[in-house]
Amino acid sequence: MARADGLRPGTLLYRHNIRLDSFLKRNTDRAVYERIRAYEPCVVKSDSINKIYMHVVMSDERVYLTEFPPRTLTSAFSFSSVRAIELINDLPDFLSGQDRLRCQHIKILYVQDQPAAKGLQRNDQLLPPLPPSHGFSPLSTGGFAAHSPPMHTPRPTRSASCPNGETLGLLAPQTPERPHSSASMYPLTSDEKLQSPKVPRRIGLLFSRLKNRNKETNVAELHLYALSPLSTLYLHLHSIWTSFNIKTTLMLDPLYRRKYCASPCNSAGDCLKVISWERTAYLFSQLKTELLQEGISVESLYLLLQELRTAAHRNIALRRLFWRSSELCLSLVQTLEDCLHGDQSEVYTTDRLLMRTLIVQTLAIMFRETEVEPARLSLLAANNGALVSKMLLASTCDSWTPNDPQIRVFLTEYLDAACSLLFELILLGQEKSRFSSSESILSVGWIIQVLQSHPHLLSFISYQVQQVVMVLSNSQHDILNPAQSVLLFQRCCLLLVCLQYSNHLAQHLKSNFREDFKYSVNVLDAEMKLPPHYPISPMLRGLVQQIQTLILL
């Protein structure tokens, strides 16, 4: 029986359509069901579907369509094949009255894997379980602890709440890994003309990329017409697409896979059998109890947070459980604030920077793919957004460079982590801004207003833009690795928001970095640094162009 809050035992999402939810749970493998992020009714139009009222079902990798009421489930496209998701400003002629005026028209361009079927499948055969993508699995052993900077204490193998292998533990076998060549990430074209010495390498690569783009002749269109002005369909599609591109880009990095992926398994279903949702909830409860115990030492807190962070990377269920346990989130933010108290010399110490970095990284991953979790919005919006205000002000800091080279390295790692957390908060603000004014609590305008009260905001933002310029400057010719590309994407999103939502920050950026973006940042050079097989590359190229245009206005 459904609970009053809409959450069923063993389910991950807030289900507002009991009939559809029951259909999905009954007729799909658990591996598919537990990866569903959201669903929404709308009118669907494509080459094979002629304006039919259906449900769009969105998982973290794929979009499905089902009839209204549901009878079969058909795969529409994978997010790996998406080329654009656009919101079209028009009045569809097949609608009338209020439906025509309130409709949100969404156009999705994607590359078809094979010729589209002439119609929906009319049999009872539903889609098989999704295979694990790039080694994804929900939660199991193996992880990151052994790679993190050491605190001043011996490190135990696992927490007391994790006595055996079926745990949230982090101890993956440390197998040696071959050095990774950046050249292999960016293969040259086999066309001899483009390899000729008469043609510069970067121009040849650009021609090759354009040539490959022109080969995509099987691009299809899917049109979705949401009939409510408050529809979140576009936001969900764009958010899931962005998350997918970030995740799959990071998974191209062997080191990242070794840190944050469980052992290989035959199928996603096999992985889920290892640790169920119920088992995850039980283990999370134990770990939370240890984290919140009174009198916990700094060393023990650090080690437990490492375990929490790595487990959260592997399992979306744990991330949703985190938001349903408000006391843990509040405790982490309070600890982050406590690390800021004291003299300036005390803030920039090794232990403080390590703890702050770990907390900020943990909070950032908890935002990933949890935008549909009702408990998250309730917690963040409580008390006029007090918790988000604390996150914003406690994570932003002066980018002053200390003399100690070790502390300088740790400060750089912290500034990178803080940018990733601000990126997640900006995504939250964009969702809120869609249906409210720019001054509303949690909107992007509200976030910028909170940040502008921070005494070191200009220093913090200047550091982020300096990193963008350095990476994209003519003097930097190295191909970006996956993690660098994702961090650059997050920095560019932060800078674009500063330019769009704050006259003060926009003027600061234009006054101090106009010459850099005019003479050092080159779009062609940026193209050469972003391998075309990185899923995040197309989005990132578009962001760089937008930022350069706004700064040079």
Asked whether residue 51 is domain-assigned, the answer is yes
Tell me the whole-structure pTM to 2 decimals. Answer: 0.79
Asked whether residue 63 is domain-assigned, the answer is yes
pLDDT at 154: 37
pLDDT at 455: 93
Q: What is the CATH classification number for the domain harbouring 7? A: 2.30.29.30
pLDDT at 134: 34
Count how many domains the chain has: 1
Range of the domain at 7: 1-118+220-250
Contacts of 449 (CB under 8 A, 6+ apart): 439
Please, are residues 142 and 158 in contact by the beta-carbon 8 Å criterion? no
How many angstroms separate the CA atoms of 85 and 74, rounded? 20
Asked whether residue 307 is domain-assigned, the answer is no
Asked whether residue 58 is domain-assigned, the answer is yes
Asked whether residue 90 is domain-assigned, the answer is yes
* Residue owning tokens 């962001």: 543
pLDDT at 61: 93
Please provide residue 66's backbone torsions phi and psi, each rounded to the nearest 5 degrees: -140, 150
* Residue owning tokens 């982590």: 417
531: preceding bond cis by omega (within 30 degrees): no
Asked whether residue 440 is domain-assigned, the answer is no
How many angstroms separate the CA atoms of 10 and 393, rounded? 36
Contacts of 462 (CB under 8 A, 6+ apart): 399, 508, 512
Long-range contacts for 409-414 (Cβ within 8 Å, ≥24 apart)? 410/149, 410/350, 410/353, 410/354, 410/357, 411/348, 411/353, 413/353, 413/357, 414/353, 414/356, 414/357, 414/360
Per-residue pLDDT of the chain in tens (553 residues, 90 and over written 9)? 333 333 443 344 445 788 999 999 998 888 788 889 899 999 999 999 999 999 999 999 999 999 989 999 999 999 999 999 999 999 999 999 999 999 999 999 999 875 444 334 333 333 433 333 333 233 333 332 333 343 444 333 334 333 333 333 332 323 333 333 333 322 222 334 333 333 344 445 544 554 555 556 789 999 999 998 889 899 999 999 999 999 999 999 998 888 887 654 444 333 434 578 889 999 999 999 999 999 999 999 999 999 999 999 988 899 999 999 899 999 999 999 998 765 455 557 888 999 999 999 999 999 998 988 889 999 999 999 999 999 999 999 988 877 888 889 999 999 999 999 999 999 999 888 877 776 789 999 999 999 999 999 999 999 999 999 999 886 666 889 999 999 999 999 999 999 999 999 999 999 999 999 998 888 787 788 899 999 999 999 999 999 999 999 8
pLDDT at 114: 58
Please, are residues 172 and 142 in contact by the beta-carbon 8 Å criterion? yes
Asked whether residue 275 is domain-assigned, the answer is no
Asked whether residue 366 is domain-assigned, the answer is no
pLDDT at 275: 72
Task: Give the burial string for 310-320 (b: 16+ CB within 10 Å, else e).
Answer: bbbbbbbbbbb
- DSSP, collapsed to helix, strand or coil, labels residue 42 as strand
Classify residue 223 by burial, with Cβ atoms within 10 Å: 0-12, 13-18, 19+: middle
Strands (E), 140-238: 219-226
- DSSP, collapsed to helix, strand or coil, labels residue 78 as strand
Enter the tokens of residue 512.
Answer: 């101090």
Q: How many CA atoms lie within 13 A of 84 on its CB side?
A: 11
